[in-house]
Structure 1
C-alpha cells in the first residue's frame, strides 16, 4: 500500500513562503517542563481544539514557554481542568507546550489558496476544501476556524513579489474580511516507526526517550492503523493514503504537495 507525506510545495524564498501562507500565533499555552524524575527538559507544540479558559487569559504563566518543575506543571494542568470542568490525568490530559485556541492569523497578502502552511503542527484549508474533504474525516482530525488579525491588501500567489523587507507594515492594513479558513488538527497516529519505540517512558511526566539514530522515518504498511490521514508517530509528518491523496488532487487543491514516504 502506498502512503504519501502531505506538505507544502517548495518556495523560492522565506518571503514567498510568508506571502503565500502567512503565520498563526497562539497566545496562550502551557510552559515546558523540567522533570526532576527523568531529568528531561522539554515542551511540545500540540495544538488544542478549545479556547483558553477566561481565568488564564491575564495570567502570565500561560504565556511563557520557559520550563517549570513537574510539580508546578501538574498543578497548572489541574487548575485548567477545573476551569474546564473536565476529567484530568497529569501529563496525559494536557502536555508541556500545549497551545490553546484562538489561533490568530496574520499575512502580508490576502490568502486565496486551498491549503495554507503557517504552522509546523497544523495546516489550514479553505472552506471549499473543508467541505469536500475534511468534514468526512471526523475523529481522525479536528477542525477549528482561524481568527484573522492582520491581513494585507496585496493578493497572494504562488509566485508573489517579495514583501517590503524594510517596511513590512506598508503591506499590512489591520484586520480584513477574508474567506473562512480552518485549522486541521491531525489526531490519528501510526504505530512507532522501525527503531522509534521508546527506550523508556518517565512514570511522572510521561516523556518518551527515543534513540534518534536508530529511528527510520519510513511509513510501512504494518504501522498503519487504518486511518486515511495520520501523523507518522514520533514526527510531525502528515501522512495520507493514496486514495485520499488522489481525492485531494482531483479536487484541484492548490498549494499542496504529496511525497512518497
Structure 2
C-alpha cells in the first residue's frame, strides 16, 4: 500500500505563499490551559465544525489564547456543551486551543486555485474539488463553508462603505477591490478527522489524568507512514503530527481531476 503526504507545493517565497493562499482566521476559540496536575501549560490548534454559540459572541474569554487553570477550562467546556446541547467528556470533547466556526479568509488576490493552504490545521478547496472528491468522504472529513472576508486591497470608493458594514456585523462577508463583473466562487474548509496509529517511537509515555495531555518523546518518533499504522481511511493525519496523508487511490483521483496548488510526497 502506497501513502502520500498531501501538502502545498514549494513556493519561491513567503510572499508568494501568502499571495496564493491567504490567511484563514478563526475568531472564537478555547484558551490554553495551565494544568496543575501535570504542571504543563499548552494549547492546541484543532478546528471544530461547531459554530461559536451566540452566547459567547461578545465574550472575551473565548477570543484569547491566554491559558487559564484546568478547573476554569473544564467549566468553560461544560458551559459550551450546554449551549450546543452536547454531551461531553472533560478535555476530550473539547481541548485547549480548539477553534470554532466560522473561518474568515483574507487573501491579497482573487483566489483561483482548487486547493488553498492558509491554515496549518486544515486546507481549503474549491466547489469543484468539494463535489468531485470530498463529498464522498463523509465521516472521514467535515466540510465547512468559509467566509471571504477580504479579497485584495480596498479601493478608495468602497473603503468607507466596507468599514461601516464590517462594524455592523462581524459575520458578514466582504469582497474588496473586485469589479462588479468579477466573482469568487465558494470555498470550503476540509477538516480531517481520522488519524493513523502511532508512528514508531511515538507511543505516549504517560497521559495526564486531568487534561488528558499525552507525553511523547518527539525526538524518537519516526515520521513515516507504514501500512500497519493504517486504519482504513483514504485521508487522515499521521498521528502526533499535522501531516495530511492520503492513499494512492485518492491521490490519483485528485491528480486526474487536474487539481491545482497541491502536491503529493510519497512515503
Query: Do the two structures share a fold, i.e. TM-score over 0.5?
Result: yes
Instruction: Give the 3-state SS of the residue equivalent to 2:220 in structure 1.
Output: coil
- 1:64-143 paired onto structure 2 within 5 Å: 64-143=64-143
Q: CA deviation at 1:170?
A: 6.9
- 1:105-184 paired onto structure 2 within 5 Å: 105-152=105-152, 175-176=174-175, 177-184=183-190
Choose from 250, 257, 261 the match for 2:256: 250
Q: CA deviation at 1:169?
A: 5.9
- 1:4-23 paired onto structure 2 within 5 Å: 4-23=4-23
Gaps of 5+ in 2: 163-173, 176-182
Q: 2:223 matched to 1:238?
A: no
Which residue in the other structure is 1:228 paired with? 234
CA distance in 2, matches of 1:195, 1:49: 31
Q: 2:177 matched to 1:190?
A: no
Q: CA deviation at 1:129?
A: 0.3
Gaps of 5+ in 1: 153-167
> What is the number of residues matched between the two proteins?
246
After superposition, the C-alpha distances for 1:70-109 in whole angstroms (9 at most, x for unaligned) are 0000000000001111101100110000000010111110
Which residue in the other structure is 1:209 paired with? 215
After superposition, the C-alpha distances for 1:127-161 in whole angstroms (9 at most, x for unaligned) are 00000000000011000000011111xxxxxxxxx
Which residue in the other structure is 1:24 paired with? 24
Instruction: Give the 3-state SS of the residue equivalent to 1:20 in structure 2.
Output: helix
TM-score normalised to the size of structure 2?
A: 0.90
Runs of 4+ that moved beyond 4 A: 168-174
Cα-Cα RMSD: 1.4
Q: CA deviation at 1:178?
A: 1.4
After superposition, the C-alpha distances for 1:36-55 in whole angstroms (9 at most, x for unaligned) are 00111110000000210010
Q: CA deviation at 1:62?
A: 0.2
TM-score normalised to the size of structure 1?
A: 0.92
Which residue in the other structure is 2:166 paired with? none
